[in-house]
Amino acid sequence: MVRRKRTSQTLEKAVRRAASLYSISSNLDLGNGLTLPAFSTLIETMQTRENAYNSALSNIDKLYREMLETERELGDMAEHMLLGVATCYGKSSVEYGMAGGIPKNQRRKKLRGESSISTVEPSAI
């Protein structure tokens, strides 16, 4: 599962607006802290944070894939360990049960026509 990277329409619009404002003056000052250099600095900050966020998502995706692969390997090895105990001691042994298997002699045999879900007969009225 790849997480969608974020793109900011506000950032894209601000970059276009800054380019337009530069055509007026590269040192545009509209008062109250509204300067083109401050606007450009805020744009760069947003770009840096967006890039950091998207990089973090990529790292999370990588870690998630690595974790799933390790989980598969662990499941395979756990199965092989149980099969190894079965090979050494047999599937009816106490050791097989201790390793987490169900010994052959303790398995319940399913009767013909028996389902795993029990049904209740409706009572006659």
- C-alpha distances (whole Å) from 104 to each of 50, 85, 86, 107, 120 are 58, 13, 10, 6, 30
Q: Which residue has the higher pLDDT, 64 or 104?
A: 64
pTM: 0.64
* 108 has pLDDT over 80: no
Establish if 85 belongs to a structural domain.
yes
> Residue 34 to residues 11, 16, 21, 30, 31: CA-CA distances in angstroms?
17, 17, 12, 5, 5
Q: Which percentage of the chain shows pLDDT scores above 70?
A: 88
Confidence band for 26, pLDDT divided at 50, 70 and 90: confident
In a domain, 1, yes or no: no
Q: How many domains does the chain have?
A: 1
Q: What is the pLDDT of residues 45-75, one digit of tens each?
A: 999 999 999 999 999 999 999 999 999 999 9
More confident of the two residues 103 and 51? 51
Q: Is residue 123 assigned to a domain?
A: no
